[in-house]
């Protein structure tokens, strides 16, 4: 979708205007009411339109206007209309017009009293529209013309300075689109090697420094846990690390992001049920979020030093596959008894986390993983689960989630050696990769905590319930959401650039 920010509203097939609570029309909407001879006001009365946040009223062929469609969107209380509200309104207009108009104009002229400057409101409106307008139709060859998206251009008028406000958001949009594409493509298209190729193509032009570990290098380093997961697949594993330093200080302490990238998860020898297994193409959603976030941060030239690591494997039940009961030695030297080969994500992450901490010496590490079904049982599909060893870090991530819309809910985490931690003690190794049935997302986090270096503030984000949605949301169609990219961007802006 082409986005523009003209000073005055151009003629378009669709004109989008706004009203606050108690049906208070913006100056542009009031002018449209006069131009239509009061048609807009009569329609508002007939539809009991009050300007409630997110309410939508549509007039077809409005008298006195060149537009074929007139949309009136409710702001609710203008003072509470923040970035999140305008992103959702942008998503709503895109959803409504996607199959109906090839271009639209949203007129914010005269809008005031908002919860943010009008230029930022316009920028977030455009971002929401762009995010909601994203579709992945690459593999649909029989779409009829009326089924193909039409909305190709959005002009957001009457908001001086909006172009500059949108510039960094455009880079975030591109990062979200990369994440969604990686998550959406099937496993015969995106596997460890092709994931790396696609990410390198996006990252290299932006100045990201890229490091790639192949199977031989991981074996040399002693990545016993990650390679144990990968050994049943014909697809060789990869680790890709991306580094961005916009601080101007080569010695700046980095933020470390680590993503689980299981490009397809059968469960291995502990094989999953057939029903729904096709969804396991998105078990690399954590790695995809890290890759998209790094592209967004480099694209907008964030004044921070950030390293993103994606650990990529395929988990298959070949004759060479890892068996329940096997013991592996991790890169850290700690040993793990593999009780369940379908608890593979934590094994993959353990080696990548330890290696990246030793190499880059971060002060903060965040890992992103579609780790457990238990987190979906706990939180559903509206929040990701957050486990953190530092209260300040947890608070900052929660705040970033509220601003970005990638919402988090903090879950309990015991200290090393606590009762929760001892649930993963093994009789023959240092630990086992699963605990008892109850508290499955908690014991998974306890496992990962054993691979956090002393002094590193760490948060584990279990995003299993939010990377893929069966229903469309305010700023995403059904399918891949791009969860994590906007969260990371806001967290970096608030904590590393401030």
Q: Please list the active-site residues.
A: 272, 346
Distance of CA 297 to the CA centre of its chain: 13
Q: Which residue has the tokens 């995010």?
A: 131
Cα 472-475-477 angle, rounded to 5 deg: 30
CA torsion through residues 446, 452, 458, 462, sign: negative
**The dihedral formed by the CA atoms of 279, 281, 285 and 291, expressed in degrees to the nearest 10:** -160
Longest dimension (CA), the chain: 82
Phi and psi (nearest 5°) for 368? -120, 125
SS3 90: helix
Question: Exposed, middle or buried by CB within 10 Å (0-12, 13-18, 19+), for 75?
Answer: buried
* Separation of alpha carbons 339 and 354, rounded Å: 22
User: In whole angstroms, what is the distance from residue 10 CA to residue 111 CA?
Assistant: 17
CB atoms within 10 A of CB 362: 22
| Closest to 31 measured CA to CA, from 65, 77, 71 | 65
C-alpha pair distances (Å), 320 with each of 147, 198, 231, 270: 46, 29, 6, 14
- State both tokens at 68: 């074929």
How far apart, in whole angstroms, are the C-alpha atoms of residue 120 and residue 403? 13
The closest of 293, 212, 283, 204 to 256, measured between CA atoms, is 293
Which residue intervals of 235-329 are DSSP H helices? 285-299
CA–CA separation, 337 and 213 (whole Å): 25
């Amino acid at each position: 979708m082409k986005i523009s920010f003209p000073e005055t509203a151009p003629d378009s097939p669709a004109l989008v205007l706004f009203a606050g609570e108690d049906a208070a029309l913006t100056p542009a909407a009031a002018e449209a009411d006069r131009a239509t001879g009061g048609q807009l006001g009569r329609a508002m009365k007939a539809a009991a339109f009050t300007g409630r946040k997110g309410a939508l009223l549509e007039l077809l062929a409005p008298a006195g206007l060149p537009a074929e469609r007139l949309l009136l969107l409710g702001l609710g209380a203008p003072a509470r209309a923040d970035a999140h509200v305008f992103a959702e309104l942008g998503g709503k207009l895109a959803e409504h017009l996607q199959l109906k108009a090839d271009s639209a104009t949203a007129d914010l002229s005269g809008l005031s009293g908002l919860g943010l400057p009008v230029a930022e409101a316009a920028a977030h409106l455009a971002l929401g529209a762009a995010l909601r307008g994203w579709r992945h139709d690459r593999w649909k060859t029989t779409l009829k013309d009326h089924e193909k998206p039409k909305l190709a251009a959005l002009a957001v008028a009457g908001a001086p300075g909006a172009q500059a406000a949108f510039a960094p958001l455009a880079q975030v949009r591109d990062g979200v689109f990369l994440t969604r594409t990686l998550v959406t493509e099937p496993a015969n298209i995106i596997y460890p090697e092709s994931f790396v190729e696609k990410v390198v193509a996006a990252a290299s032009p932006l100045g990201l420094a890229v490091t790639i570990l192949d199977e031989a290098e991981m074996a040399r380093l002693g990545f016993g846990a990650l390679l144990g997961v990968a050994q049943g697949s014909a697809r060789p594993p990869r680790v890709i690390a991306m580094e961005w330093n916009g601080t101007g200080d080569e010695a700046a302490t980095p933020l470390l992001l680590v993503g689980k990238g299981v490009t397809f998860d059968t469960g291995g020898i502990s094989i999953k049920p057939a029903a729904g297994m096709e969804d396991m193409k998105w078990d690399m959603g954590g790695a995809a979020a890290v890759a998209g976030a790094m592209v967004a941060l480099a694209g907008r030239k964030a004044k921070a030093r950030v390293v993103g690591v994606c650990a990529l494997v395929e988990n298959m039940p070949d004759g060479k596959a890892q068996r329940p009961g096997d013991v592996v030695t991790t890169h850290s030297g700690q040993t793990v008894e593999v009780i369940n080969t379908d608890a593979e994500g934590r094994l993959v992450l353990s080696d990548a986390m330890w290696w990246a901490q030793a190499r880059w010496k971060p002060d903060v590490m965040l890992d992103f993983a579609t780790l457990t079904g238990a987190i979906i049982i706990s939180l559903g599909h509206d929040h990701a689960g957050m486990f953190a060893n530092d209260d300040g870090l947890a608070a900052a991530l929660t705040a970033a989630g509220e601003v970005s819309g990638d919402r988090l809910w903090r879950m309990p985490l015991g200290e090393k050696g606590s009762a929760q931690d001892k649930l993963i003690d093994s009789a023959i190794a240092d630990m086992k990769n699963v605990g008892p049935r109850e508290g499955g997302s908690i014991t998974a986090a306890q496992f990962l905590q054993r691979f956090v270096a002393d002094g590193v503030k760490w948060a584990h984000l279990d995003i299993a319930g939010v990377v893929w949605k069966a229903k469309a949301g305010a700023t995403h169609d059904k399918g891949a959401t791009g969860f994590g990219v906007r969260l990371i961007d806001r967290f970096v802006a608030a904590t590393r650039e401030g």
